Each structure stands twice: as structure tokens, then as C-alpha cells.
Amino acid sequence: MFIISFQRKKCIGCNYCIESSPLHFKMSKTDGKSFLLNSIKKKNFYILKTNNYFTYLKCKIASTICPVNIIKLFYINCFIKN
């Protein structure tokens, strides 16, 4: 499972993530900061859990170009033992 975390509070609204991944990020018209779509807020972070590799790749690209480095990606290998 891929986990994408986004520290929205530190976003400077440069729009790079939206240009690289418009299906996963959207700009807020009210505060000029980006949203990670379908994420859930947990304290100061927005978290998106997914098994979709395309989502992972697009968010990975966004994380590499984000100038304030607030998009982080993690991979958790989940399986059930019988």
C-alpha cells in the first residue's frame, strides 16, 4: 500500500503539483494552497492511502518538483499470514 502525506499548511501555492498531477491535486480558491484530493486530515497532515500505482507515480513526480518538499511518499508491504 502507498501512503502519500501532504503538509498543506506549508504550501506556497506555486501550482507545480497541479500542473504535474491534475487528477490528484487541486488549488483552493479561498486560501491559494493546494489540496491532495481524496485525502483525510490527520493533525497537520493530509493522508492518502492507495494501492493505485498510477496515483503513486503521479504523486512521486509532484513530490520531486515541490519546492518546499511537503509531499512525502511511503510504501507499506501489507499481507496477512495464516
**Which residues contact ligand SF4 by CB under 6 A?**
11-17, 34, 66-68, 70-71
Residue 56 to residue 50: CA distance in whole angstroms: 8
Cite the beta strand spans of 2-68 per DSSP E. 2-6, 25-27, 34-36, 40-42, 45-50
Which residue number, 2 or 11, has a Cβ lying nearer to ligand SF4? 11
Look at residues 26, 32, 29 and name the one whose alpha carbon lies nearest to residue 11: 32
CB of 15 to ligand SF4, least distance (A): 5
Q: What's the closest the beta carbon of residue 12 comes to ligand SF4, in angstroms?
A: 4
Nearest residue (CB) to ligand SF4, 67 versus 77:
67
Cβ proximity to ligand SF4: between 49 and 61 the closer is: 61
